[in-house]
């Protein structure tokens, strides 16, 4: 079992496989599933420190595309959620998001609320490309900061 696990980790550590695995983990973690992509990014960079920028950009791309999928899911779910339209918390959240507009998608990197935020942006029919751009910036900064901090505190 240990030999199999070592060979699988070695395979995933290769940049061409590691980056594709990182992309998939980042994409899935941006959906409403509670999976984090930061450990995959950190592990890949510990094994391959020379691909720092490639890994951060791949993680950003996967996570942004996952956020864009959330936006489309929210866009399509507009009719389904009409029945909750009158709750007090719902109205406060909608008011906040409508005031911020697509800039609210800068917060897509936040744990727990970030991914639903992308879906709500779609539900509110906020403009897709500005939302995607703000998601991209927020997610890139998250990966850059988190990875830099982790590599600083755990250099070896």
Work out the pLDDT band at 78, boundaries 50, 70, 90. Answer: confident
Buried (b) or exposed (e) across 102-121, using 16+ Cβ within 10 A? bbbbbbbbeeeebbbbbbbb
Taking residue 143's Cβ as centre, other Cβ atoms within 10 Å add up to: 23
Mean pLDDT to the nearest integer, 146-150: 92
Work out the pLDDT band at 5, boundaries 50, 70, 90. Answer: low
In this model, does residue 94 exceed pLDDT 90? Answer: no
Alpha-carbon gap, residue 121 to 72, rounded angstroms: 9
Alpha-carbon gap, residue 63 to 73, rounded angstroms: 15
Mean pLDDT to the nearest integer, 56-82: 88
Work out the pLDDT band at 77, boundaries 50, 70, 90. Answer: confident
Task: Check: CB of residue 55 under 8 Å from CB of residue 46.
Answer: no
* List of long-range contacts for 15-19, beta carbons under 8 Å, 24+ apart: 15/48, 15/51, 15/54, 18/44, 18/47, 18/48, 18/51, 18/55, 19/44, 19/51, 19/54, 19/55, 19/58
In this model, does residue 12 exceed pLDDT 60? Answer: no
Work out the pLDDT band at 31, boundaries 50, 70, 90. Answer: confident
Mean pLDDT to the nearest integer, 42-59: 93
Mean pLDDT rounded to a whole number for the chain: 84
What pLDDT does 9 receive? 58
Q: What percent of the chain has pLDDT over 70?
A: 82
What pLDDT does 86 receive? 64
88 vs 113, higher pLDDT? 113
């Amino acid at each position: 079992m240990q030999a199999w696990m070592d060979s699988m980790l070695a395979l995933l550590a290769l940049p061409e496989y590691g980056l594709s695995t990182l992309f998939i983990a980042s994409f899935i973690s941006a959906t409403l599933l509670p999976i984090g992509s930061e450990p995959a990014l950190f592990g890949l960079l510990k094994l391959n420190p020379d691909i720092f920028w490639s890994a951060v950009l791949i993680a950003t791309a996967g996570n942004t595309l996952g956020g864009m999928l959330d936006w489309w899911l929210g866009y399509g779910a507009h009719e389904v959620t009409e029945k909750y339209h009158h709750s007090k918390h719902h109205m406060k959240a909608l008011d906040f998001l409508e005031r911020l507009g697509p800039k609210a998608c800068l917060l897509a990197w936040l744990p727990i609320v970030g991914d639903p935020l992308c879906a709500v942006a779609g539900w509110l029919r906020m403009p897709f490309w500005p939302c995607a751009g703000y998601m991209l910036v927020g997610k890139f900064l998250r990966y850059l900061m988190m990875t830099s901090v982790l590599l600083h505190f755990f250099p070896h």
